[in-house]
Amino acid sequence: MSAQTLPLTKHVLYNPLANRGENLSFAPKLRPGFCNSAKRVFESRISLRNYSKLGGVRCGGGAQMEQEPDDRYYIRRCVELARTAIGYTSPNPMVGCVIVKDGKIVGEGFHPKAGQPHAEVFALRDAGDLAENGTAFVCLEPCNHYGRTPPCTEALIKARVKKVVIGMVDPNAIVDSKGIRKLRDAGIEVTVGVEEELCRKLNEAYIHQMLTGKPFVTLRYLSLMTTL
Protein backbone atom coordinates (compact mmCIF):
# COMPACT_ATOMS: atom_id res chain seq x y z
CA MET A 1 0.00 0.00 0.00
CA SER A 2 1.46 3.38 -0.96
CA ALA A 3 1.40 6.27 1.48
CA GLN A 4 -0.88 9.14 0.52
CA THR A 5 0.07 12.71 1.36
CA LEU A 6 -2.89 14.77 2.52
CA PRO A 7 -2.82 18.53 1.92
CA LEU A 8 -2.78 20.67 5.06
CA THR A 9 -5.68 23.02 5.55
CA LYS A 10 -4.60 26.65 5.51
CA HIS A 11 -6.23 28.73 8.23
CA VAL A 12 -6.42 32.44 7.59
CA LEU A 13 -7.34 34.96 10.29
CA TYR A 14 -9.73 37.45 8.78
CA ASN A 15 -8.79 41.09 9.33
CA PRO A 16 -11.94 43.25 9.23
CA LEU A 17 -9.75 46.36 8.88
CA ALA A 18 -7.76 45.14 5.88
CA ASN A 19 -9.87 47.06 3.39
CA ARG A 20 -9.36 50.24 5.36
CA GLY A 21 -5.59 50.13 5.10
CA GLU A 22 -5.03 49.47 8.80
CA ASN A 23 -2.62 46.91 10.21
CA LEU A 24 -3.68 44.01 12.39
CA SER A 25 -1.69 43.91 15.62
CA PHE A 26 -1.29 40.54 17.31
CA ALA A 27 0.27 42.04 20.44
CA PRO A 28 -1.58 45.18 21.53
CA LYS A 29 0.57 47.38 23.73
CA LEU A 30 -0.62 47.27 27.32
CA ARG A 31 -1.22 50.70 28.81
CA PRO A 32 -2.02 51.29 32.50
CA GLY A 33 -5.77 51.51 33.01
CA PHE A 34 -6.65 50.26 29.54
CA CYS A 35 -7.90 46.70 29.12
CA ASN A 36 -6.81 46.73 25.45
CA SER A 37 -10.03 44.99 24.46
CA ALA A 38 -8.83 44.87 20.84
CA LYS A 39 -12.21 46.18 19.77
CA ARG A 40 -10.59 47.87 16.79
CA VAL A 41 -8.86 44.64 15.83
CA PHE A 42 -11.84 42.31 16.02
CA GLU A 43 -15.27 43.74 15.28
CA SER A 44 -17.09 40.69 16.68
CA ARG A 45 -17.33 40.25 20.47
CA ILE A 46 -17.29 36.47 20.00
CA SER A 47 -14.13 36.66 17.89
CA LEU A 48 -12.57 38.81 20.58
CA ARG A 49 -13.16 36.14 23.21
CA ASN A 50 -11.87 33.39 20.92
CA TYR A 51 -8.58 35.27 20.56
CA SER A 52 -8.39 36.33 24.22
CA LYS A 53 -4.83 34.99 24.52
CA LEU A 54 -3.51 37.94 22.54
CA GLY A 55 -1.04 40.03 24.52
CA GLY A 56 -2.82 42.58 26.69
CA VAL A 57 -6.31 41.18 26.10
CA ARG A 58 -8.17 40.36 29.28
CA CYS A 59 -11.52 38.94 28.25
CA GLY A 60 -13.82 36.25 29.54
CA GLY A 61 -14.49 32.92 27.85
CA GLY A 62 -16.80 32.55 24.89
CA ALA A 63 -19.36 30.71 27.04
CA GLN A 64 -20.29 34.05 28.63
CA MET A 65 -21.64 35.22 25.28
CA GLU A 66 -24.20 32.42 24.94
CA GLN A 67 -26.86 34.80 26.23
CA GLU A 68 -27.46 38.35 25.06
CA PRO A 69 -25.53 40.78 27.27
CA ASP A 70 -27.61 42.88 29.68
CA ASP A 71 -26.86 45.42 32.41
CA ARG A 72 -25.82 42.67 34.81
CA TYR A 73 -23.37 41.23 32.29
CA TYR A 74 -21.65 44.56 31.73
CA ILE A 75 -21.38 45.31 35.46
CA ARG A 76 -19.81 41.89 35.97
CA ARG A 77 -17.36 42.83 33.24
CA CYS A 78 -16.60 46.04 35.17
CA VAL A 79 -15.83 43.96 38.26
CA GLU A 80 -13.56 41.72 36.19
CA LEU A 81 -11.67 44.75 34.91
CA ALA A 82 -11.43 46.27 38.39
CA ARG A 83 -9.76 43.12 39.74
CA THR A 84 -6.92 43.69 37.29
CA ALA A 85 -5.50 46.22 39.76
CA ILE A 86 -6.07 44.23 42.94
CA GLY A 87 -3.51 45.18 45.57
CA TYR A 88 -2.52 48.44 43.85
CA THR A 89 -5.40 50.91 44.33
CA SER A 90 -5.43 51.43 48.11
CA PRO A 91 -6.60 53.70 49.65
CA ASN A 92 -8.84 54.03 46.61
CA PRO A 93 -11.40 51.39 45.65
CA MET A 94 -11.06 49.01 42.71
CA VAL A 95 -13.19 50.23 39.82
CA GLY A 96 -13.82 49.09 36.27
CA CYS A 97 -15.82 50.82 33.55
CA VAL A 98 -17.30 49.71 30.23
CA ILE A 99 -18.74 51.94 27.48
CA VAL A 100 -21.41 50.29 25.32
CA LYS A 101 -23.03 51.61 22.16
CA ASP A 102 -25.49 49.85 19.88
CA GLY A 103 -25.02 46.64 21.85
CA LYS A 104 -21.23 46.58 21.45
CA ILE A 105 -18.42 47.37 23.86
CA VAL A 106 -16.57 50.38 22.45
CA GLY A 107 -14.40 51.25 25.45
CA GLU A 108 -13.07 49.66 28.64
CA GLY A 109 -10.83 50.76 31.48
CA PHE A 110 -9.93 50.30 35.13
CA HIS A 111 -8.35 52.37 37.91
CA PRO A 112 -4.71 51.19 38.09
CA LYS A 113 -3.60 52.89 41.31
CA ALA A 114 -4.11 55.93 43.54
CA GLY A 115 -3.17 59.17 41.82
CA GLN A 116 -3.83 57.76 38.35
CA PRO A 117 -6.97 58.56 36.29
CA HIS A 118 -10.10 56.70 37.28
CA ALA A 119 -11.73 53.86 35.36
CA GLU A 120 -14.28 56.11 33.66
CA VAL A 121 -11.56 58.32 32.18
CA PHE A 122 -9.63 55.39 30.73
CA ALA A 123 -12.82 53.85 29.29
CA LEU A 124 -13.88 57.15 27.71
CA ARG A 125 -10.42 57.62 26.19
CA ASP A 126 -10.64 54.08 24.82
CA ALA A 127 -14.06 54.76 23.30
CA GLY A 128 -13.24 58.18 21.87
CA ASP A 129 -16.10 59.74 19.90
CA LEU A 130 -18.04 56.46 20.11
CA ALA A 131 -18.92 57.29 23.72
CA GLU A 132 -21.44 59.92 22.60
CA ASN A 133 -25.01 58.66 23.13
CA GLY A 134 -23.58 55.45 24.57
CA THR A 135 -24.08 53.86 27.98
CA ALA A 136 -21.39 53.86 30.65
CA PHE A 137 -21.31 50.94 33.08
CA VAL A 138 -19.27 51.34 36.26
CA CYS A 139 -19.16 49.16 39.39
CA LEU A 140 -18.90 52.16 41.77
CA GLU A 141 -20.57 55.56 41.69
CA PRO A 142 -18.50 58.10 39.70
CA CYS A 143 -16.82 60.73 41.86
CA ASN A 144 -18.00 64.35 41.77
CA HIS A 145 -15.16 66.14 43.54
CA TYR A 146 -11.67 67.39 42.81
CA GLY A 147 -8.90 65.43 44.47
CA ARG A 148 -5.74 64.09 42.92
CA THR A 149 -7.80 63.73 39.72
CA PRO A 150 -10.76 65.70 38.26
CA PRO A 151 -14.38 64.52 38.78
CA CYS A 152 -15.45 61.54 36.67
CA THR A 153 -18.96 62.99 36.44
CA GLU A 154 -17.59 65.90 34.40
CA ALA A 155 -15.80 63.51 32.05
CA LEU A 156 -19.01 61.53 31.48
CA ILE A 157 -21.06 64.68 30.90
CA LYS A 158 -18.47 66.09 28.52
CA ALA A 159 -18.44 62.81 26.57
CA ARG A 160 -22.23 63.14 26.11
CA VAL A 161 -23.13 59.66 27.28
CA LYS A 162 -26.88 59.21 27.48
CA LYS A 163 -27.03 56.72 30.34
CA VAL A 164 -24.91 55.55 33.27
CA VAL A 165 -25.46 52.20 35.02
CA ILE A 166 -23.88 51.99 38.48
CA GLY A 167 -23.23 48.90 40.57
CA MET A 168 -23.33 50.60 43.98
CA VAL A 169 -23.32 54.01 45.67
CA ASP A 170 -19.92 55.13 46.96
CA PRO A 171 -20.03 55.06 50.81
CA ASN A 172 -17.37 57.78 50.96
CA ALA A 173 -19.07 60.81 52.53
CA ILE A 174 -17.39 63.06 49.95
CA VAL A 175 -19.23 61.21 47.18
CA ASP A 176 -22.30 59.40 48.65
CA SER A 177 -24.88 59.93 45.86
CA LYS A 178 -23.55 63.37 44.86
CA GLY A 179 -22.18 61.92 41.64
CA ILE A 180 -25.56 60.40 40.83
CA ARG A 181 -27.34 63.72 41.39
CA LYS A 182 -24.80 65.55 39.23
CA LEU A 183 -25.36 63.16 36.33
CA ARG A 184 -29.15 63.34 36.61
CA ASP A 185 -29.07 67.13 36.81
CA ALA A 186 -27.17 67.05 33.52
CA GLY A 187 -30.01 65.08 31.92
CA ILE A 188 -28.27 61.72 31.97
CA GLU A 189 -30.37 58.66 32.83
CA VAL A 190 -28.90 56.83 35.83
CA THR A 191 -29.59 53.29 37.08
CA VAL A 192 -28.18 52.23 40.45
CA GLY A 193 -27.84 48.88 42.24
CA VAL A 194 -27.07 46.45 39.41
CA GLU A 195 -25.12 43.45 40.77
CA GLU A 196 -24.74 45.43 44.00
CA GLU A 197 -23.77 42.45 46.15
CA LEU A 198 -20.96 41.51 43.76
CA CYS A 199 -19.71 45.11 43.71
CA ARG A 200 -19.77 45.28 47.51
CA LYS A 201 -17.79 42.07 47.75
CA LEU A 202 -15.21 43.51 45.37
CA ASN A 203 -14.54 46.50 47.62
CA GLU A 204 -15.43 45.15 51.07
CA ALA A 205 -12.16 46.47 52.54
CA TYR A 206 -12.79 49.95 51.14
CA ILE A 207 -16.40 49.95 52.35
CA HIS A 208 -15.35 48.87 55.84
CA GLN A 209 -12.77 51.67 55.98
CA MET A 210 -15.31 54.29 54.86
CA LEU A 211 -18.02 53.20 57.31
CA THR A 212 -15.90 52.51 60.40
CA GLY A 213 -12.72 54.48 59.87
CA LYS A 214 -10.79 51.32 60.66
CA PRO A 215 -8.73 49.12 58.33
CA PHE A 216 -10.20 45.85 57.15
CA VAL A 217 -8.12 43.06 58.67
CA THR A 218 -8.30 39.34 57.97
CA LEU A 219 -6.73 37.21 60.71
CA ARG A 220 -5.59 33.70 59.96
CA TYR A 221 -3.97 31.40 62.46
CA LEU A 222 -2.68 27.86 62.53
CA SER A 223 -3.46 25.66 65.48
CA LEU A 224 -0.85 23.00 66.20
CA MET A 225 -1.60 20.01 68.35
CA THR A 226 1.36 18.26 69.93
CA THR A 227 1.35 14.87 71.53
CA LEU A 228 3.72 13.90 74.32
Question: Is the bond preceding residue 69 a cis peptide, omega within 30 degrees?
Answer: no
d(CA 106, CA 218): 38
d(CA 72, CA 76): 6
22 is catalytic: no
Buried b (16+ CB within 10 A) or exposed e, 201-217: ebbebbbebbeeeeeee
End-to-end CA distance of the chain: 76
CA angle 213, 216, 219 (to 5 degrees): 140
Decide the pairing of beta strands 163-166 and 189-192: parallel
d(CA 15, CA 106): 18
In sequence order, the β-bridge partners of residue 191 are 165
d(CA 21, CA 160): 30
Which residue among the candidates 80, 108, 120, 141 is catalytic per the annotation? 120
In sequence order, the β-bridge partners of residue 123 are none
Residues belonging to the active site: 120
